[in-house]
């Protein structure tokens, strides 16, 4: 046991230098997720919807080896970003476990099947549409305010990282869902893309108004290359989807730059996930994949028809397939995408990658 004089010396050193006693590490920044099935971590488990991933073999490579509601064999993009942040994955907003200390981690509001437009994904019945996800973000902040106070809640949200993924379903599950769809009769493709960009801009402005200050915004993937589209469409049909992505993604990037210029700081970061995907879709063997056309789980041509179920074909090694099911990447493909999000050049992450963001924010 230290003598009284020794204790006085130790306490004096602590007062003078402030570094002699180890302190608890700072909590990682909160993380909020909005969007569709590419980033849903299980909200649809709590909804009466056909857009769900709560049965095997989903989750076969997750640490639990059980379906979690993620449209993946294992981790999805938000999980892998959370790992880079040194944080737990934010829970689905609808999870009854999202209480108390768990709220400080953030929340995932994403819901499989949704799009930018409210009528997208109507065939899936009950999903959390984008306007509702934003409303839930408000409710989250009210819950946090009652827990830690309004000032700390504002600081937590302002310093948080936000990820949003939307747009793909507005083409696949709306404009091109059926021949002569309502939306395709209303708008030629270029005008439809302008409508989507305009509505997306409103959503992003709402996130900013609610306190979001670092927002990663993904574009659509290479939609025409998904196994579902290869199985169901001819070359002309897949080409139309590729054209849609080619029109949408650059315009999205431009509107993000315009928003940043208007705000006067780099709030919105464009993540060119189409280009990230295209790297391994066009040259799978260079990334250790055997195929980027055939889904691991499914049936029919390219395993691209219907749902991934316990009765579907299932590949024995998920690391050899770029696609897990008819639409969604495998965990390995998600890891490649997150590596580009973390350290990709301006070609992939404009105006900067996530590592640069974290380094900048660490100094403020």
In a domain, 226, yes or no: no
The question of whether 325 is a catalytic residue gets the answer yes
In a domain, 7, yes or no: no
In a domain, 315, yes or no: no
Query: What distance in Å separates the CA atoms of residue 43 and residue 128, rounded to the nearest whole number?
Result: 8
Domain that holds residue 46: 31-220+235-273+345-362
Q: One of 40, 89, 111, 328 is an active-site residue; which one?
A: 328
In a domain, 294, yes or no: no
In this prediction, residues 302-313 reach a mean pLDDT of 95
Q: Which range, of 101-110, 165-174, 223-232, averages the lowest pLDDT?
A: 223-232
In a domain, 58, yes or no: yes
* Cross-strand partners of 59: none
pTM surpassing 0.95?
no
In a domain, 225, yes or no: no
Q: One of 37, 72, 82, 111 is an active-site residue; which one?
A: 37
The question of whether 82 is a catalytic residue gets the answer no
Render 199-239 in DSSP notation, one character per residue. Answer: HHHHHHHHHHHTT--SEEEE----GGGSHHHHHH--HHHHH
pLDDT in tens, 231-279: 988 665 578 999 999 999 999 999 999 999 999 999 999 999 999 999 9
In a domain, 203, yes or no: yes
The predicted structure's pLDDT at residue 351 = 97
In this prediction, residues 51-65 reach a mean pLDDT of 97
Asked if pLDDT for residue 363 goes beyond 90, the answer is no
Q: One of 36, 40, 79, 325 is an active-site residue; which one?
A: 325
In a domain, 328, yes or no: no
The question of whether 37 is a catalytic residue gets the answer yes
Our count of domains for the chain comes to 1
Q: What is the CATH number of the domain that holds 244?
A: 3.40.50
């Amino acid at each position: 046991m230290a003598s009284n004089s020794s204790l006085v010396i130790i306490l004096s050193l602590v007062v003078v230098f402030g570094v002699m006693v180890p302190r608890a590490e700072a909590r990682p920044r909160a993380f909020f997720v909005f969007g569709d099935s590419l980033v849903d971590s299980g909200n649809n488990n709590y909804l009466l919807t056909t857009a769900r991933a709560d049965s095997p073999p989903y989750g076969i490579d997750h640490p639990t080896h059980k379906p979690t509601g993620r449209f993946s064999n294992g981790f999805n993009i938000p999980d892998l970003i959370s790992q880079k942040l040194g944080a737990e994955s934010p829970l689905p907003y609808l999870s009854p476990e999202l209480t108390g200390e768990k709220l400080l981690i953030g929340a995932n509001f994403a819901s499989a099947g949704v799009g930018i437009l409210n009528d997208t994904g109507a065939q899936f019945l009950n999903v959390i549409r984008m306007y509702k996800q934003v409303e839930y973000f408000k409710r989250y902040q009210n819950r946090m305010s009652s827990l830690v106070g309004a000032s700390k809640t504002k600081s937590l949200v302002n310093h948080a990282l936000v990820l949003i993924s939307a747009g793909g379903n507005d083409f696949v599950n709306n404009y091109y869902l059926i021949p002569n769809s309502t939306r395709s009769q209303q708008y030629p493709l270029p005008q439809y893309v302008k409508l989507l960009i305009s509505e997306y801009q409103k959503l992003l402005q709402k996130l900013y108004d609610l306190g979001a200050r670092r927002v990663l915004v993904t574009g659509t993937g290479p939609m025409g290359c998904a196994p579902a589209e290869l199985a169901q469409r001819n070359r002309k049909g897949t080409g139309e989807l590729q054209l849609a992505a080619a029109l949408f993604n650059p315009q999205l990037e431009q509107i993000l730059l315009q928003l940043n210029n208007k705000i006067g700081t780099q709030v919105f970061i464009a993540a060119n996930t189409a280009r990230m995907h295209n790297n391994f879709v066009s040259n799978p063997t260079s990334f250790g994949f055997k195929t980027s056309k055939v889904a691991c789980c499914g049936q029919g041509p390219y395993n691209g028809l219907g749902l991934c179920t316990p009765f579907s074909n299932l590949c024995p090694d998920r690391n050899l397939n770029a696609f897990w099911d008819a639409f969604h990447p495998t965990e390995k493909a998600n890891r490649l995408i997150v590596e580009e999000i973390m350290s990709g050049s301006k070609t992939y992450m404009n105006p900067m990658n996530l590592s640069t963001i974290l380094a900048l924010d660490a100094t403020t």
